[in-house]
Amino acid sequence: MVSDEIKRFLDFVAESKKIYDMASEVMHLEEKKTQDFLHAIEFETSAKERSKICTRLHKSRQERRRNKDLVEEREDLVKFFQDPQHKRTLDQLTQLLGRVRKVEKYHADRTYYPRVREE
């Protein structure tokens, strides 16, 4: 159905925004953790403990990279629809979805009653 395709696109845009926001937040958190780990390494006297901190730093950097990639992949799309002109287009697509669903519902529930009976 046409409405399913429109809905799928609108869901994709909304999901991309949600992923972008979440990944951006995680990326910034991991950047702050990096500073904590670097300071912990700087002040740790035990080589064994520094090694453990380095492993945690490595994992944190990998997580940051995964989330940074997600942000970069979705950034242009999110910024495109933040533009007022394009946001308006997205709002119009939402309204279009409602109108198309209404027509589809009318077509699904339509019945015909003969006006003339043949005998």
Percentage of residues in the chain having pLDDT higher than 90:
61
* Average pLDDT for 8-21: 93
Q: What is the DSSP letter of 115?
A: S
- Judged against a pLDDT cut of 90, whether residue 109 lies above it is answered with no
The pTM of the full predicted model, rounded to 2 decimals, is 0.74
Tell me: the pLDDT tens digits for 83-107? 888 889 898 999 998 999 888 888 8
Tell me: the pLDDT tens digits for 15-69? 999 999 999 999 999 999 999 999 999 998 899 999 999 999 999 999 999 999 9
pLDDT band at 116 (very low <50, low <70, confident <90, very high): confident
Q: Which residues contact 54 (CB under 8 A, 6 or more apart)?
A: 37, 41
pLDDT band at 114 (very low <50, low <70, confident <90, very high): confident
Confidence (pLDDT) at 107: 80
Calculate the alpha carbon distances from 73 to 11, 19, 69, 87 in Å.
Answer: 17, 10, 6, 19
